[in-house]
Structure 1
Amino acid sequence: MDLRALLTTHLKLRHLVIVLAIAEQGSLVRAAEELYLTQPALSRALREAEHAVGTSLFERTGRRMVPTPAGQVCLEHAKAIVGHVGTLRRRVDELTDPEAGVVRVGAHVTGANLLIPRAVARFTADRPRVEVLLREAPPEALIQELGSGDLDLLVGRVTDHPSTSRLRLVPLYREEFRVVAARSHPVHALAEASLKDLVGYPWVVPLAHTPLRDELEENFRSAGLTPPAQRVESGTPATLRTLVAEAGFLALMPESMAVAEPGLQMLDLHLAGLAQQVGILLHSDRPLAPNAELLAGKLREVGDEIRRELLVTVPAAVPPHDAAL
């Protein structure tokens, strides 16, 4: 790295913040309002940023400011740099007062029922003055927020995917998604339920365009069946739980969640491709602040316990045909 060349660069941190604000707000007017700047001052700062980079970063399309290809590249690096600066400030602050601060955790449905609550409870016992902010959203949104520094870490499904290629993945335990129904549901009277027996019932299905939804539908197609016609699409655990327990729906649920639900019962049916690794997803080159590191340690601790619980409670969790996934 040529440090002397960097001393003479005209690109400043404020320029990166301005570029991020314009991209987020989609217009100079709204970005100026967001940053408490006048529009002429913001326009001048954008021209400075473009001069420092050497090319145009935005083009006006109708009423919106749209990043150019160079602007997209600039945005990728701006998010990482601003995220690093935010983490730097928090790490220094926590050196002064380890008992203060905020840890921001992103969670998808996976792991949100047992892993995160147990880990957070242990963390807050050690750090009672540290605030923990939990954010539940689709994986794509959470990964973007991790990259921009809005989140410290993610908890969810650990899988090889282009969206996670730049992240550091820490697997904690492996479990299977199982079909669940209310204990009073008629499917439990079947000697050996198959997908053919289940396709006519209403289902709560995972969100469209997610690996879990694709894998569920592939199971039906492999059995020569059309996926259930009567279905509700939901990624919210509370909605899923109520529809299954009270309205006769079938659904997929992680084993660790299913065994903890007294009103629900798993079917003795294992579907191909529905095992998962649950773990922590981290920014590949951004160190965690001390409190975030402590929470990550609690997640590892609880993850080990859940893994042992699954081995005892559901010994046949991963059938042979799924072992290589």
Structure 2
Amino acid sequence: MSAELDWYLQINLKARHLRLLVTIDTYRNLSQVAEVTHVTLPAVSKSLAELERGLGLTLFTRTGQGLVPTPYGECLTRHARAMLHVLHQALDELKALSAGTEGKVEIGVLPVSASILLTHALKLLKQRSPGTNVKIVEGSAASLLPELWQGHLDLVVGRLPPLDALGSFEEKELLEEPVMLVTGGQHPLARKKAVEWSDLLPYPWILPPLGSILRDPLERALEAHGVPLTNNYIETLSLHVIRAHLQVSDCIAVMADTSARDATHPQPLHTLPLNLPRLLRPAGVLWNRVRTLTPSAQLMISCLEETAQRLAQEAQEKR
């Protein structure tokens, strides 16, 4: 069986088989598969039977609720999705080359943590390679890291996760950014020359959601200073929402140093003169070490490194 399986996978398995597996796994109904693929139901049944016969494995079982993948089906479908994505990436690169562009890089960004770094790095990338196109996806570590593992993203930029969460990811530290407590310019504490931790007690908060990498260490740090969090808060990772709400409320939020001190923003924030301990690892970039980085992704990493060095130097000069 092993020799036959090896022969079939390496010689006879085709892209149409991969698409068939993914479509069946998506719809779990052969009639729907036939409809969306614009082929007859007998043809779909025949293709699945030929695939299972060639592999010598049962991939799906028929139940009252439709087709259910066997462990073999789950395994092969998972890899089929990954292989189809790689083929789509190759097609995108070939189209880009034929159109005179220089490639594409898909980046996941962790909100609130690397917006300034990524913005300036993208500017540098476009200066060096105008034909390199970029797709940005914002999300939490819980949503972006699986996408990075599956190959749907080339890079993830933001606060690096704990070392024990890295698994098969390679990382590069880029920028050590302290976390600051911030308010809008109209906040009562923004008008005080001296601020004590106890002054924070009456005010509501904008917090990172439960489960995000900043939430637990922030709560512990505030409790250590006698500032337990109340039930009066908003949870979000959106930098735009945080900035906008700080301008119209008496909320206090936590933000990375470069974002908090962004003087180019039309509505600057006020940084409270209270020092938090180091709550998080540095901002950095992650990629999947088992997948080869494209030239566009390598160039993006280079731009991130150069931008981080410049931002660190500027921050040092301001101190």
User: Taking structure 1 as the reference length, what is the TM-score of the superposition?
Assistant: 0.79
Deviation at 1:164? 3.2
Q: Which residue of 1 aligns with 2:293?
A: 288
Aligned residue for 2:176, secondary structure, equals: strand
Q: Distance in 2 between matches of 1:31 and 1:110?
A: 42
Q: Distance in 1 between matches of 2:98 and 2:4?
A: 32
CA contact (8 A) 1:167 1:284 kept: yes
1:300 matches 2:302:
no
**Correspondence for 1:193 among 196, 202, 205:** 196
Q: Which residue of 2 aligns with 1:136?
A: 138
Q: Distance in 2 between matches of 1:34 and 1:160?
A: 43
**Which sections of structure 2, spanning at least 5 residues, go unmatched?**
none
Taking a change above 3 Å as real, the CA distance of residues 25 and 310 of structure 1, as seen in their structure-2 partners, is farther
Q: Which residue of 2 aligns with 1:279?
A: 284
Q: Distance in 1 between matches of 2:301 and 2:30?
A: 39
Q: Distance in 1 between matches of 2:63 and 2:223?
A: 43
Q: Which residue of 2 aligns with 1:322?
A: none
CA contact (8 A) 1:207 1:213 kept: yes
**Which sections of structure 1, spanning at least 5 residues, go unmatched?**
316-325
Per-residue CA deviations over 1:197-240 (Å, capped at 9, x if unaligned) read 32331111112211212222223444455423111111111111
Percent identity over the alignment is 28
Deviation at 1:252? 0.9
CA contact (8 A) 1:86 1:149 kept: no
**Correspondence for 1:204 among 200, 203, 206:** 206
Q: Which residue of 1 aligns with 2:249?
A: 247
**Correspondence for 1:81 among 80, 83, 88:** 83
Tell which deviates more after alignment, 225-234 or 58-67: 58-67
Per-residue CA deviations over 1:281-323 (Å, capped at 9, x if unaligned) read 112121122223222221221122122233334x5xxxxxxxx
Q: Which residue of 1 aligns with 2:268?
A: 263
Q: Distance in 1 between matches of 2:100 and 2:59?
A: 40
Q: Distance in 1 between matches of 2:99 and 2:182?
A: 47
Aligned residue for 2:158, secondary structure, equals: strand
Q: Distance in 2 between matches of 1:256 and 1:36?
A: 53
Q: Which residue of 2 aligns with 1:119?
A: 121
Q: Which residue of 1 aligns with 2:166?
A: 164
Q: Distance in 2 between matches of 1:177 and 1:36?
A: 55
Tell which deviates more after alignment, 20-29 or 286-295: 20-29
Taking a change above 3 Å as real, the CA distance of residues 246 and 142 of structure 1, as seen in their structure-2 partners, is same
Tell which deviates more after alignment, 60-69 or 185-194: 60-69
Deviation at 1:56? 4.5
**Correspondence for 2:220 among 218, 221, 225:** 218
User: Taking structure 2 as the reference length, what is the TM-score of the superposition?
Assistant: 0.80
Q: Which residue of 2 aligns with 1:312?
A: 317
Taking a change above 3 Å as real, the CA distance of residues 27 and 264 of structure 1, as seen in their structure-2 partners, is farther
Aligned residue for 1:178, secondary structure, equals: strand
Instruction: Give the root-mean-square deviation of aligned CA atoms.
Output: 3.4
Q: Which residue of 2 aligns with 1:103?
A: 105
CA contact (8 A) 1:113 1:257 kept: yes
Larger radius of gyration: 2
CA contact (8 A) 2:161 2:213 kept: no
The total of aligned residue pairs comes to 312
Per-residue CA deviations over 1:34-68 (Å, capped at 9, x if unaligned) read 55555554454444555556554456787476555
CA contact (8 A) 1:159 1:277 kept: no
Q: Distance in 2 between matches of 1:64 and 1:310?
A: 60
CA contact (8 A) 1:11 1:52 kept: no
Q: Distance in 1 between matches of 2:103 and 2:284?
A: 24
Q: Distance in 1 between matches of 2:57 and 2:238?
A: 44
CA contact (8 A) 2:160 2:282 kept: yes
Give the aligned residue type for 1:305.
R
Taking a change above 3 Å as real, the CA distance of residues 203 and 91 of structure 1, as seen in their structure-2 partners, is same
Q: Distance in 1 between matches of 2:51 and 2:316?
A: 56
